[in-house]
Amino acid sequence: MAGKTPFWKSKTLEQMTPEEWESLCDGCGRCCLHKLIYEDEAPGTVCFTNVSCRLLDTESCQCTKYPTRKKYVPDCVTLTPEVVSEVNWLPPSCAYRRLSEGKGLAWWHPLVSGDAETVHSAGISVRGRAVSERRAGPLDHHIVEWPGKMPRPAKPKET
């Protein structure tokens, strides 16, 4: 298979199989952080918080009930190519957003690095920075900017 173009470079989001689509998630957990959208101030303005959905394991950055999450969190958004192009709250580091904007996957993405831990070791994920909604209290006390900004991770030192 040497020389074969990776699917994310040769297919559009709409052309991907369900397995390919799911593998685009880098496991950062940023999309599972609560957001506040203030329609009365600046319409559509998104304020990010460091408060995670109660189903997010903040250590692994994985949903603990992913296949049945809508049963527990009915307003959980299922990402589709249409949703990706319509929402304004996906983080700029998100593979779905990057590909929809014509950008490639970042070096820390597991499909590029070959290691699911690079998203964490590069400081992209919510690991160590998120608090569960079960302990957080009012969301407006947890407004932060980092989930909505492109991180500046340093590549790991070569060994």
95-133 residue pLDDT tens = 999 999 999 999 999 999 999 999 999 999 999 999 999
Our count of domains for the chain comes to: 1
Do the domain assignments include residue 48? yes
Do the domain assignments include residue 76? yes
User: Could you report the per-residue pLDDT of 22-73, keeping only the tens digit for each?
Assistant: 999 999 999 999 999 877 766 678 899 999 999 999 999 999 999 999 999 9
Q: Residue 37 sits in which domain range?
A: 15-148
Task: HSE, CB side, 13 Å, CA atoms: give it for residue 120.
Answer: 13
Do the domain assignments include residue 52? yes
Q: What is the spatial distance between Cα 56 and Cα 138, in angstroms, rounded to a whole number?
A: 18
User: Could you report the per-residue pLDDT of 3-35, keeping only the tens digit for each?
Assistant: 789 999 999 999 999 999 999 999 999 999 999
Do the domain assignments include residue 153? no
Which pTM was predicted?
A: 0.87
33 beta partners? 52
